[in-house]
């Protein structure tokens, strides 16, 4: 069996450099993650921390009186001192925001948040999820559309650049 045939093409190095740079651009999802992070914060402000029961079961009449007396307000339901809201719709020491080329992580370090969000059985306080994590949720459908639009624009930029 003979040796493999090697063909050298002038300019191939330049093409390989462009391929490498395009690969880097394609694999960098930070711009997309920044967009959905803003969407996450906006939805939390509009839905989770509404000035009404919103998507949650309302508070009991007894707790409404206690909360009004203790905090000076009844709604939003998930707000008492405001730490949870600040950690999810802004930046606080309790916020978890990680955006890298390949990953997006958003949440809170507050230990009581898991109780509100968890699907674990409960006896006293009803589940009040911090976001709708069902696959068909409006937020995830929006993110899917944002991804498609972003990927299309990104491909156009890369190919025409």
Tell me the whole-structure pTM to 2 decimals: 0.76
Cis peptide before 123 (omega within 30 of 0): no
pLDDT tens for 60-96 read: 999 999 999 999 999 988 888 889 999 999 889 999 9
* Count: domains in the chain: 1
Instruction: Return the percentage of the chain with pLDDT > 70, whole number.
Output: 94
Q: How confident is the model at residue 7 (pLDDT cuts 50, 70, 90)?
A: low
Instruction: Return the percentage of the chain with pLDDT > 90, whole number.
Output: 40
- Residue 19 placed within a domain: no
- Residue 111 placed within a domain: yes
Buried b (16+ CB within 10 A) or exposed e, 29-45: beebbeebeeebbebbe
pLDDT confidence of residue 161: 64
Q: Look up the domain containing 93 and give its range.
A: 28-160
- Residue 46 placed within a domain: yes
- Residue 130 placed within a domain: yes
pLDDT tens for 126-149 read: 888 888 878 888 999 999 999 999
pLDDT confidence of residue 72: 93
Q: What is the mean pLDDT of the chain?
A: 86
100, 30 Cβ separation under 8 angstroms: yes
DSSP β-bridge partners for residue 95: 108
pLDDT confidence of residue 56: 83
- For 13-19, what is the mean pLDDT? 75
Distance of alpha carbon 128 from alpha carbon 118, whole angstroms: 8
């Amino acid at each position: 069996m003979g040796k493999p045939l090697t063909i050298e093409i002038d300019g191939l190095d330049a093409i390989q450099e462009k391929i490498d740079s395009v690969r880097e651009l394609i694999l960098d999802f930070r711009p997309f993650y920044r967009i959905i992070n803003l969407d996450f914060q906006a939805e939390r402000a509009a839905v989770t921390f509404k000035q009404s029961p919103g998507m949650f079961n309302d508070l009991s009449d007894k707790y409404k009186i206690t909360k009004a007396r203790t905090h000076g307000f009844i709604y939003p339901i998930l707000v008492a001192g405001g730490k949870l809201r600040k950690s999810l719709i802004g930046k606080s020491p309790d916020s978890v925001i990680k955006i890298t080329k390949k990953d997006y992580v958003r949440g809170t370090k507050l230990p009581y948040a898991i109780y509100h969000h968890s699907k674990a059985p409960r006896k006293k306080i009803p589940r009040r999820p911090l976001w709708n994590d069902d696959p068909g949720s409006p937020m995830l459908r929006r993110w899917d559309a944002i991804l498609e639009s972003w990927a299309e624009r990104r491909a156009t930029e890369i190919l025409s650049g």
